[in-house]
Amino acid sequence: MIIRSIEDLKDWQTDRDEILVEELVDSAEVLHPEFNFSPRALKLVAAQHTGSCELCGEAEFTIRDALTGMTSSTCRQCVNAVRRQTLTHVIYPAEICWDCTITKDSLGLINGAFHHTFPFDDELQKDGTIRRGLNPLILAGRIELVDNVLTLLPE
């Protein structure tokens, strides 16, 4: 599918995020039906695991739940399912996130995202070259969505 506008790109980004989050939460809920998966801050109390989850085998950590203020032993799968829901795309005025890399700490817990951004319009680089923006590339029919991956088509 050829991307025809920035709005198409934003819609794809929103839909893709919802699907990825839903898949992560659904897979965790299957094994942890009693856990509250509502989006909220879960703070790591100690940077070491306290054991292994009896339900999924993942490492457990002492976590403070910002919603309840309580601490509990919570597995990596549940922590990551909750934390992933709190990650959102920042809408920049002149660029959009083209692709995201979810980042994790040394314990394998989600701690953020690195956004690979692309400008809407052409930009003059420090070396004097011009970086093509999305608007001209979209108008030229050079942005395609294949297997849920954005691809820049050759000229």
In a structure prediction context, what are the per-residue pLDDT tens digits for the chain, which is 155 residues long? 888 998 988 888 888 889 989 999 999 999 999 999 999 899 999 888 889 999 999 999 999 998 889 999 999 999 999 999 988 877 788 888 888 889 999 999 999 999 888 899 999 999 999 988 999 999 999 999 888 788 888 88
Q: What is the pLDDT of residue 10?
A: 86
What's the pTM value of the predicted model, to 2 decimals?
Answer: 0.82
Give 92's contacts (C-beta < 8 A, 6+ positions apart): 117
CB 80 within 8 A of CB 96: no
Q: What is the pLDDT of residue 67?
A: 86
- Dihedral of alpha carbons 132, 4, 9, 20, sign: negative
- Residue 16 gets the label, from left (phi > 0), alpha (psi -120 to 50) or beta, of alpha
- Residue 143 gets the label, from left (phi > 0), alpha (psi -120 to 50) or beta, of beta
Chain length of the chain: 155
Q: What is the pLDDT of residue 155?
A: 82
Dmax (CA) for the chain in angstroms is 58
CB 120 within 8 A of CB 6: yes
